Chains A and B, each alone.
Chain A
Amino acid sequence: MPTEIDDVLERHATELLALPNVVSVGIGEHAGQPAIVVGVTQRVPSEELEPGERIPDTIEGHEVDVQELGTPAIELPEEGRNG
């Protein structure tokens, strides 16, 4: 059954994925609690980002955990992973 955090993620997934460097959103854990995890190719200091480009610390009361994910690509030989 979808829980409340799943609904929150579904409402915000598209806007999060439109931010620079963001390659994934999902449900993970932060400090033992379910959290929204945002995967980025690489971390960028927030002062280098415009206010509208920053990933929020919380969304509707849920912690947002930013994780470096590199650049996801299909796992074939010779695909030249640049993660």
Chain B
Amino acid sequence: MAEAAHPKMELTPADAAALEDARAHAVEELLTPEAPHSNVVGVAAGVKWRNGEPTGDPAVLALVTHKVDKAELGEGDLVPTKIGSTRTDVLEIGFPMIERAQMQVPTTVNGTAVREEEQQTVVPQVPLFGAEALARRARPAEGGYSVGHFKITAGTIATCVYDLLPGAATGSRPKPGVGMPQRFYVLSNNHVLANVNAAMVGDPILQPGPFDGGTFPADLIARLSRFIPITLEPPTPRILHRNLVDAAVAEGQFHDLDREIYWGGYVRGWRRRANVAVGSIVQKTGRTTNFTTGRITAINATVDVGFGGGRIGRFQDQIITTNMSAGGDSGSLITTPDEVAVGLLFAGSSVATIANQIENVRSLLRVEVAEQIL
């Protein structure tokens, strides 16, 4: 990934050596079983981040499942600001076990301990709670499942779509067309299907995404057809950005693409941007956090979004909701509770989720999401 090349995310060999002492000390202090720190699941050497950007200063990172307001933590649970003379930073990584679908072997059955040698043969294996069911391979694939360009990690399939049909209109009087679709596509983000502008049309798209074990050619589901380029700073100052969507489509075979959303149902229609209202309840199904709901807190929003490696994209006309996503949910379709498409999820923070207006996605990519405007 491009992140690796960012100079402020890398440590010099001298810095790394100096950090090793502090890191070892932090392991003792933060991960000791006698006095565990709430939510701390790991310790690492890295660089201090500020405002979402690497500063280049060496730091010991406390890896936490989730960040908690200082006021809610007891004194013994606070991560100190320094360990020795080295600064600390807190990095939210969720539960590390969910990165790969693991199998958990029960150690007791009906209250009877299972001997280790029996565990492989006697006891049925059950998926670990929290394992990512949607990170697996599925044919046909549905909205909510893992997907990704062959050079990225993994995002989510929004739904499956087709080219606007004859008679379809965009702009001030949009309407669906009528006819026979020639091509069918997976819809997701540019940064999921087109590697943030870096992909070539025709590149392989894998389901599940590479992070979830998808490989070429066994898990090929589609090939990149088109994407809306994203303007980023650097090199372009954000004041000049006119980004509306982070969106792309990849063509697959009809029998592999189901536009049903896992747990959501069939997309009944799509909503015009002018009718997307603050306060509405919305839902999504995504690869990482599965089925979630949220509430729209702002519309017509201009948001500065981090793309990794210190790159920022300023997006206009966005929808902001309460937090309903995590890393890997990029590309999820945001709908109303009765399955009217509203937005294309592409970014989030620890407290909010950000989505493109589906009307902008439809008119810029020129794809039909559903046959009714609701």
Q: Is B290 an interface residue (CB 8 A)?
A: no
B153–chain A nearest beta-carbon distance, Å: 5
Pick the contact of B351: A1, A17, A29, A70 (CB < 8 A).
Answer: A70
The reply to whether A71 and B306 contact each other, CB–CB distance below 8 Å, is yes
Given contacts A29-B279, A78-B153, contact A72 B300 (CB under 8 A): no
**Residues in A whose Cβ lies below 8 Å from that of B91:** 80, 82
Pick the contact of A73: B211, B308, B351 (CB < 8 A).
Answer: B308
Q: List 24 A-B contacts (CB under 8 A).
A: A13-B302, A17-B304, A17-B314, A24-B298, A24-B302, A27-B298, A28-B320, A34-B278, A39-B303, A70-B351, A72-B305, A73-B306, A75-B326, A75-B330, A75-B347, A77-B211, A77-B288, A78-B211, A79-B306, A80-B93, A81-B348, A82-B49, A82-B91, A83-B350
Closest B residue by C-beta to A32: B279
B90–chain A nearest beta-carbon distance, Å: 8
- Within 195-245 of B, Cβ neighbours of A (below 8 Å) are at 211, 238-239
Pick the contact of A74: B298, B299, B302, B346 (CB < 8 A).
Answer: B346
Q: Is B328 an interface residue (CB 8 A)?
A: yes
The reply to whether A28 and B298 contact each other, CB–CB distance below 8 Å, is yes
Q: B112-156 toward A: CB 8 Å interface, digit per residue (1/0)?
A: 000000000000000000000000000000000000000011110
**Residues in B whose Cβ lies below 8 Å from that of A21:** 51
Q: How far is the CA of A77 from the CA of B89 in the complex (A)?
A: 19
Q: How far is the CA of A80 from the CA of B67 in the complex (A)?
A: 13
The reply to whether A74 and B347 contact each other, CB–CB distance below 8 Å, is yes
Q: How far is the CA of A72 from the CA of B155 in the complex (A)?
A: 16
**Residues in B whose Cβ lies below 8 Å from that of A25:** 301-302
Q: Is A55 an interface residue (CB 8 A)?
A: no
Given contacts A25-B301, A77-B328, contact A82 B92 (CB under 8 A): yes
B27–chain A nearest beta-carbon distance, Å: 20
**Residues in A whose Cβ lies below 8 Å from that of B305:** 72-74
The reply to whether B351 and A83 contact each other, CB–CB distance below 8 Å, is yes
**Residues in B whose Cβ lies below 8 Å from that of A67:** 297-298
Number of A residues contacting the other chain (C-beta, 8 Å)?
35
The reply to whether B327 and A79 contact each other, CB–CB distance below 8 Å, is yes
List the interface of chain A (C-beta within 8 A of B).
Answer: 1, 6, 9, 13-14, 17, 21, 23-29, 34, 37, 39, 41, 67-83
The reply to whether A75 and B302 contact each other, CB–CB distance below 8 Å, is no
The reply to whether A37 and B306 contact each other, CB–CB distance below 8 Å, is no
Q: Which of A17, A39, A67, A77 has the most CB of B within 10 A?
A: A77
Number of B residues contacting the other chain (C-beta, 8 Å)?
55
**Residues in B whose Cβ lies below 8 Å from that of A83:** 52, 67, 92, 348-351
B145–chain A nearest beta-carbon distance, Å: 15
**Residues in A whose Cβ lies below 8 Å from that of B320:** 24, 26, 28, 37, 39, 69
Given contacts A76-B191, A81-B92, contact A68 B302 (CB under 8 A): no
Closest A residue by C-beta to B209: A77
The reply to whether A73 and B347 contact each other, CB–CB distance below 8 Å, is yes
Closest A residue by C-beta to B328: A77
Q: How far is the CA of A54 from the CA of B314 in the complex (A)?
A: 21
B301–chain A nearest beta-carbon distance, Å: 3
Q: Which of B302, B307, B346, B347 has the most CB of A within 10 A?
A: B302
**Residues in A whose Cβ lies below 8 Å from that of B93:** 80
The reply to whether A24 and B51 contact each other, CB–CB distance below 8 Å, is no
Q: How far is the CA of A37 from the CA of B279 in the complex (A)?
A: 13
- Within 280-309 of B, Cβ neighbours of A (below 8 Å) are at 288, 297-308
Q: Which of A1, A68, A70, A74 has the most CB of B within 10 A?
A: A74
B303–chain A nearest beta-carbon distance, Å: 4
Pick the contact of B325: A14, A70, A75 (CB < 8 A).
Answer: A75
Q: Is B352 an interface residue (CB 8 A)?
A: yes
**Residues in B whose Cβ lies below 8 Å from that of A6:** 300
The reply to whether A76 and B52 contact each other, CB–CB distance below 8 Å, is no
Q: Is B189 an interface residue (CB 8 A)?
A: yes
- Within 35-81 of B, Cβ neighbours of A (below 8 Å) are at 49, 51-52, 67
Pick the contact of B274: A1, A26, A34, A68 (CB < 8 A).
Answer: A1
